[in-house]
Amino acid sequence: MNQHYKIMRYDLRSQYCILWFSPLNALTEEYVKTLYNPLLSSLKSYVTCYLVQMSLFETEDIQAEIKAAVESLAEELAGKKILLSGWCSGGVLALKGAEILENCGITIKQILMLDTFEPEYIMHVQKDKRLSLDGLLFPAYYIHSFLLQMDCQQPYFKSNQCLRDIHELRDEEVKDYVYDHLKYLGFSKEMVIRFLFRNIELNLNVDIESTGLLNNISLKKSRCGVMLIKAEREDRDTDDYLGWKNLLGEQISLRQSAYTHDTMLLEENVAGIVQVVEEILEG
């Protein structure tokens, strides 16, 4: 199998280790670095961090891909205090990664899911800020992913300010915003919007296809706990555990974030997550 995953390592001296898994729509390293950089900056001198990037768009066998990525780290992780975490669909990868490491004889201290919906449950709900292009509803952060895929070296696209600006967009502003920030590449507005539509459709398919990752996962026999940090959202009818309680039972605990799915990883908002990570690793 061709290797499509990428692993980025930060500060290999610590006995505390965190594996941060990318969302399943993460095509570029720059997107993953931008996403998790506020957490890495806060934890840089405290823990060894691994960023694991993979995408459903680049492989036909995501289960084999994550197995290869995680098993390649088993020897490095032996004997260390390990936390596996992921934002959005990256939390599903963290769950799968824990199963793989435990099968390698590695003890996991905790799994931390950052506003991760159970894949089947997500089909029945909508996340926080959603935008519409000609009736196609999608999470606002898809735009950020698209911009970085178009030009991962653009400083603005890699900034927290870009994420804030996208979160403030209204439906009627999306096309102009995207074209205004990409027209320097020389594409027509029609072509840019066509690229954007295609990217959004691929991303939406990720939510459906990630369901297969849960096949044959048996975490109830694991000794590690699972914590879910749930984002603030307007829809108060959303299940408290985002659909995970049936699968994980008493193994899962819950924390509430004061921020939305799109904003909980911004630099000014990560202090609560950092505190949780420190509690887990030092506990």
Contact 54, 22 (CB under 8 A): yes
pLDDT of residue 1: 47
Any alpha helices (H) in 109-159, and if so which ranges? 119-122, 141-150
Euclidean distance between CA atoms 22 and 203, whole angstroms? 13
pLDDT computed for residue 214 by the predictor = 60
pLDDT in tens, 4-46: 577 887 776 678 899 999 988 776 788 788 889 899 888 866 7
Q: Rounded CA gap, 110 and 224, in Å?
A: 5
The bridge status of strand 6-10 relative to strand 48-53 is antiparallel
Distance CA 161, CA 148 (A): 14
Q: Rounded to whole angstroms, what are the CA distances from 99 to 59, 94, 104?
A: 21, 9, 9
Q: What is the DSSP letter of 55?
A: B
What single-letter amino acid sits at 249? G
Q: What are phi and psi of 9, to 5 degrees?
A: -110, 140
The contacts found for 184-193 with CB under 8 angstroms, 24 or more apart, are 185/150, 185/151, 193/133
DSSP 19: E
Q: Rounded distance, CA 125 to CA 139, Å?
A: 12
Alpha carbons 105 and 101: distance in angstroms, whole number: 7
Strands annotated E in 30-102:
48-53, 81-87
- Regarding pTM above 0.85, the answer is no
Specify the DSSP class assigned to residue 185.
Answer: G
pLDDT of residue 4: 59
Regions in the chain scoring below 70 on pLDDT: 1-4, 12-13, 27, 44-45, 56-60, 122-129, 206-222, 234-237
Q: Is 96 helix (H, G, I), strand (E, B) or coil?
A: helix
